A and B are shown apart, each in its own frame.
Chain A
Amino acid sequence: MIRFIFRRLISLALSLLVASVVIFTVIEVVPGDPASYMLGLNASPDTVAALRDQLGLNASAPARYLGWLVGMLAGDFGLSYTYKVPVAALVSARLAVSLPLTVYALALAILIAFPTGLLAAARSGRASDGVVMGATQIGIALPNFWFAMLLVLVFALHWHWFPAGGFPGWQAGIATGLRALTLPAIALALPQAAILARVLRSALIETLDQDYIRTARAKGLTRRQTILRHALRNAMIPVLTILGMQFSFLLAGAIIIENVFYLPGLGRLIFQAITQRDLIVVESVVMILVFAVILVTFLVDLAYAAIDPRLRRRA
């Protein structure tokens, strides 16, 4: 297991390194000079020269890349051009909204999907299975940001159960913060829960077909015990794969849905940065998003190995 983790760690580091090269290169191909691109057409040559100096543009590309990389390792993402504050401070303030939202949504998705998928698999072929499967088809087709608008319309504007938008900050109390994130989290979670429930159902149905399940039943275990003890564990591999992918969908979804609820998260930061051409912020936020996705893939790999010892020898 130690060797497995070590090898996975090396490939994690390599993926991050290559991803950082790709991001740096894409930002490099900005037409013309990044400093004049960021400042616009009316900038005086002096301002452009000052910004070039601040960005370290007079150094060679490899040197700048190394500087960026070493800085990031030390937690220094540079200075935002428009906000004049360290990008690391900006990003961590915004992550305090986006990350809890993503995790909240993931937790909701799991809470909805597991009972639903289990029920559908246990009753596969019957009417209740048909109803659940039909509902998940609609869930998958829902654009989360539109669903969010409908939720606001009904639960915030009509019934006033939840705030329609904005975020009071965690200093207002965890309950108040969670309440502000509840509608966005539901909007993000439901379409993903639909996907997860379908995957869980078909993985369970497939494992329930296996000989060891028949053995377990023959041994005298009830249907419920068989599903929970034997089938579920073996059905977890495809479910974990989807969960890992869903994290990145949820993170991207969170960035989009922040616009519906006017939440001060990473999404708002990055869209402002794009309009203001603050490439330093864009570059760093993109790197952090990609880092999150790669890290989750790594964790999913570890979870595979924890669940299924056979997978430790491979890869």
Chain B
Amino acid sequence: MRLPLLIGAILSATALSAAAVSLAWTPYDIAALAIADKLQPPSAAHWFGTDHFGRDIGSMLMAGAQTSIAVALVAVGIGMGLGVPLGLLAAANRGGLIDEAVMRANDLVFAFPSLVIAILITAVFGPSAVNAILAIGIFNIPVFARVVRGGALSLWTLDFTRAAEVAGKGAARISIEHILPNVANLLIVQGTIQFSLGILAEAGLSYVGLGAQPPTASWGRMLAEAQTMVTLAPHVAIFPGLAIVFTVLGLNLLGDGLRDRLDPRSRRAP
């Protein structure tokens, strides 16, 4: 295993296990306020210090990992769930009216950055964590549709799909039985990329108040709250940011490493 892939796997596993453990246990209760202990620098009792309410930052980072990962994961799920069938459909109908319609719809969604979608949804339905999931998820749909269509288009020109057609299989069956397994590698790589982008986007959205709402712990919100006391207690602002950087860095390294392993062609030009 190459070093970047190993680092990526370790960082991603750390974030995932922190999130998983926080479901059952955190070092301190993040709902309990201890104003007397507020803004303490890192110590043996509080490895990452405490925030303005005296809450343990390490515990909040663990719970925040859970929010980030859940939002990004569901958003990737929405993107794949709708984008993959659309991409397969477009490729099966290559050059036809459905293909054209899917691609034009894709272009349209690309004109709405996830922040803009989040702004629209929040203006209409009020703020909630679901907005971030929807906004990032909708933004992911055309990404996956494009990747799958691109991969599927080249597969449709190959002999084995011809053979399946001659054998009497319909376009839908070929798409599911032959095309989908062959674009799975592309999906794994793109899925990792969108997952890490989703974590960055969730942090940005909850930082401006369009994502997770109190009392849900979220890295972006921790940063928003830290902003006013950054001179008093820099650690309050530094650790949530580092959590985001390490998680995103880990996922990106993992994605790059997986691409090199799964796609021999990309090894030539790393």
Q: Does A294 contact B (CB under 8 A)?
A: yes
Q: Which of B203, B234, B268 contacts A143 (CB 8 A)?
A: B203
State A249–B200 Cα separation when bound (angstroms): 12
Near B by CB (< 8 A), chain A positions 269-302 give 270-271, 273-274, 277, 279, 282, 285-286, 289-290, 293-294, 297
Q: Does B112 contact A (CB under 8 A)?
A: yes
Nearest CB of B to A186, in Å: 16
Q: A142-B245, A273-B123 are in contact. Are A15 and B203 (CB under 8 A)?
A: no
CB of B237 within 8 A of CB of A146, answer: yes
Q: Which of B107, B123, B220 contacts A15 (CB 8 A)?
A: B107
Q: Does A119 contact B (CB under 8 A)?
A: no
Chain B residues whose CB sits within 8 angstroms of the CB of A66 once the complex forms: none
State A137–B237 Cα separation when bound (angstroms): 22
CB of A143 within 8 A of CB of B208, answer: no
Q: A149-B230, A290-B111 are in contact. Are A140 and B120 (CB under 8 A)?
A: no
Q: A26-B120, A30-B124 are in contact. Are A145 and B207 (CB under 8 A)?
A: yes
State A4–B58 Cα separation when bound (angstroms): 57
Near A by CB (< 8 A), chain B positions 100-157 give 107-108, 110-116, 119-125
CB of A149 within 8 A of CB of B115, answer: no
CB of B108 within 8 A of CB of A149, answer: no
Q: Which of B111, B196, B207, B241 contacts A256 (CB 8 A)?
A: B207
Nearest CB of A to B47, in Å: 20
Q: Which of A18, A143, A253, A286 contacts B245 (CB 8 A)?
A: A143
Residue of B nearest to A140 (CB): B252
CB of A137 within 8 A of CB of B204, answer: no
* Chain B interface extent, by class: 35 or more
Near A by CB (< 8 A), chain B positions 217-264 give 220, 223-224, 226-227, 230-231, 234, 237-238, 240-241, 244-246, 248-249, 252-253
A contact face: mostly helix, strand, loop, or mixed = helix
Q: Does A182 contact B (CB under 8 A)?
A: no
Q: Which of B120, B226, B249 contacts A286 (CB 8 A)?
A: B120
CB of A18 within 8 A of CB of B207, answer: no
- What per-residue 1/0 map shows which CB atoms of A253-273 lie under 8 Å from chain B? 101100110000001001101
27 A-B residue pairings within 8 Å (CB atoms) = A26-B121, A27-B124, A29-B124, A137-B249, A137-B253, A141-B246, A143-B204, A143-B220, A149-B237, A149-B241, A153-B230, A206-B269, A248-B113, A252-B115, A255-B208, A256-B204, A256-B208, A259-B207, A260-B227, A271-B209, A273-B123, A274-B122, A279-B123, A286-B119, A286-B120, A294-B111, A297-B111
Interface residues of A (CB under 8 A from B): 15, 18-19, 22-23, 26-27, 29-31, 137-138, 140-147, 149-150, 152-153, 157, 202, 205-206, 209, 248-249, 251-253, 255-256, 259-260, 267, 270-271, 273-274, 277, 279, 282, 285-286, 289-290, 293-294, 297
A-B complex: 3 closest residue pairs judged by Cβ atoms: A146-B241, A141-B248, A141-B249
